[in-house]
Amino acid sequence: MHMSLSDVAAIPTHPSSYACIDLVNSRFTDYLGRGVHDRLPMQPWQTWFLRRHGLRVGRGERMPLQEMRRFRDELRAVLDKWSAGHRLTAADLRRMNHAIAAAEVRRRVVLDGGVPELHFEPSTHDWSWVMASVASSAVELMASSPPERVKTCANPDCSWMFHDETLNASRRFCSGQPCGNLIRIREFRDRQRRGRT
């Protein structure tokens, strides 16, 4: 069965605290392998994503959809590679730098609870700034977390990426229902079948 955009809600029920993971997950496969969904063109998703990660674009700035999709693919490839324990190459860095360097920023000092803090501000609030911020969030993620904590749901049909924040890094699924239950039942049946033969 082919599923269309209207079959999914615009806002994900299992968002991440990392902008890069939320962007990567805007394209996701159905947990039963019935198709691929893309929330990127959905206006409510765009509004949600920007607000959630403290980003904004100027009025009338339309998302460059093809460019964002390409960026999202590259970001996923980099995060997948890194989480699998591979070293990033010069080409990977070039792609990340391309996104980060596309937005012109200035530094500004602001007071946070009386303590001076450096902020980066874009010269234009546009989608290049959004991509630069998302690429920065990927760098922050890789700099601050061990690769094995960046995971993809253990349901082979589900593409959902997440950052495992459990104490012993034991999380396997995007969520218990449906993915966790589905796979646990499958594993249980496999064990039973092997037990009988």
Residue numbers at the binding site for Zn ion (CB under 5 A): 153, 155, 158, 160, 174, 179
What is the smallest separation between the CB atom of 116 and Zn ion, expressed in angstroms?
43
CA distance 100 to 132: 4
Q: Look up residue 64 and give its two tokens.
A: 């460059």
Query: 19 vs 158, which CB is nearer to Zn ion?
Result: 158
Q: Look up residue 3 and give its two tokens.
A: 């599923």
Query: 53 vs 151, which CB is nearer to Zn ion?
Result: 151
Query: 20 vs 158, which CB is nearer to Zn ion?
Result: 158
What is the smallest separation between the CB atom of 51 and Zn ion, expressed in angstroms?
25
Query: 136 vs 152, which CB is nearer to Zn ion?
Result: 152
What is the smallest separation between the CB atom of 162 and Zn ion, expressed in angstroms?
9
Give the DSSP per-residue string, 142-175: HHHS-GGGEEE-SSTT---EEE--STTS---SS-
What is the smallest separation between the CB atom of 126 and Zn ion, expressed in angstroms?
33
Q: Please name which of 63, 195, 175 lies closest in space to residue 129, comparing C-alpha atoms.
A: 63
